[in-house]
Homo-oligomer: A and B are copies of this chain.
Amino acid sequence: MDNPTIAVDVMGGDNAPDSILDGVRLACEEYDVDLLLVGPEDLIRDFYDGDLPGGDRLRIRHASETIRMDENPLKAIRRKKDSSLNRAADAVKDGDAHALVSAGNTGAVHACTKIKWGVQERVDRPAIATLMPSRKGGYSVLIDVGANVDSDPHQLVQFGAMGSVYSELVLGVDDPTIGLLNLGIEEMKGNNLTKQAFSQFQNQPLNFYGNVEGRDIINGTTDVIVCDGFVGNIALKLSEGVAETIFDFIRDEIERSFRAKLGGMLLKPYFKNLKEMVDYSEYGGAPLLGLNGGCIISHGSSNPNAIKNAIRVARLSMSKECNRIIGERLQTLEFS
């Protein structure tokens, strides 16, 4: 698809609308991209002081309401028809845009896009993929990280297929390997779900590596790691928590003496590399895969850089026709 239009949910996220609109400005400066900003028109025009970035490649669709981060997803999307999220999803449904970027309430984004756009043919359940920084450099795709709570073996195989398409098209990985997250690498290991998923994976035209363990999520053992959304959500939040705890600890230690402060000062540029490696804002957000439309869910506390990168990734996945290729890949799967 040439020149896909990206709809941006201006009111979604902890730092909305400022971070979102600043991110939009960065995207207009750096990328060749068509944007549809969805939110209160006056607010958007005021923010840019009448001087919209992107020239005629940026349009506005007015929406008066905002869905808060802590609202019940289903109730919120039903009651707030004129919310920025609902209107942005409408725009994709109408064909006025091709993908949606939102840093808003994840449950609401998931429910809203699923209801309005529908699920792709042959997809049982959409899934959220996230990029995990890998010890080897680059990123692995962890899928699902919370779109679903209880999954069946066929769904896990579909997650693997969708994740591998994303890895290939958006991360540029050649024939990505798929690992099944498990408590041991041996074939017979696992709970009821993963044992069945293992045997289903073996019969597919996918580059299935086999079982992987918790540490492999970060080791880069495979390009894609498949798990149910319950496990993936815990893994994602835990790895963020461990990294933050270690950074906080280092920061506290550095404050403890002159010697430590001096050491910290000397190492500062190197810590910066580390922070960048684990910085979610660099890779933009988590794609919600398997829907009739592109969707990137950005971190709730996204800064402008994260929004800019989410727009980049949304545009890239649409240009590469991620959805069409996912549809084709899923057609090749055969379940016993």
Question: A residues touching B (Cβ–Cβ < 8 Å)?
Answer: 135, 146, 149-150, 181, 183, 190-192, 194, 213-219, 227-231, 233-246, 248-250, 253-254, 256, 259-260, 262-267, 270-271, 273-274, 277
Are B270 and A267 interface neighbours, CB within 8 A? Answer: no
Are B260 and A274 interface neighbours, CB within 8 A? Answer: no
Are A246 and B274 interface neighbours, CB within 8 A? Answer: yes
Chain A, interface SS category: helix
Are A217 and B243 interface neighbours, CB within 8 A? Answer: no
Copy number of this protein in the oligomer? Answer: 2
Tell me the minimal C-beta distance from A179 to chain B in angstroms: 12
Contacts of A219 in B (CB 8 A): 241, 245
Which residue among A227, A254, A259, A267 has the maximum number of chain B CB atoms within 10 Å of its CB?
A: A267
Which listed residue, B149, B241, B249, touches A214 by the CB 8 Å rule?
B241
Query: With the chains together, A30 CA to B183 CA distance in Å?
Result: 36
Contacts of A216 in B (CB 8 A): 241
Are B254 and A238 interface neighbours, CB within 8 A? Answer: no
Tell me the minimal C-beta distance from A7 to chain B in angstroms: 27
Are A234 and B183 interface neighbours, CB within 8 A? Answer: yes
Query: With the chains together, A89 CA to B85 CA distance in Å?
Result: 61
Query: With the chains together, A230 CA to B254 CA distance in Å?
Result: 37
Top 4 nearest A-B pairs (CB, nearest first) are: A263-B266, A214-B237, A215-B241, A214-B238
Contacts of A234 in B (CB 8 A): 181, 183, 213-214, 227, 231, 234-235
Q: A245-B135, A263-B266, A263-B267 are in contact. Are A215 and B240 (CB under 8 A)?
A: yes
Query: With the chains together, A240 CA to B230 CA distance in Å?
Result: 20
Contacts of A191 in B (CB 8 A): 149-150, 228, 230
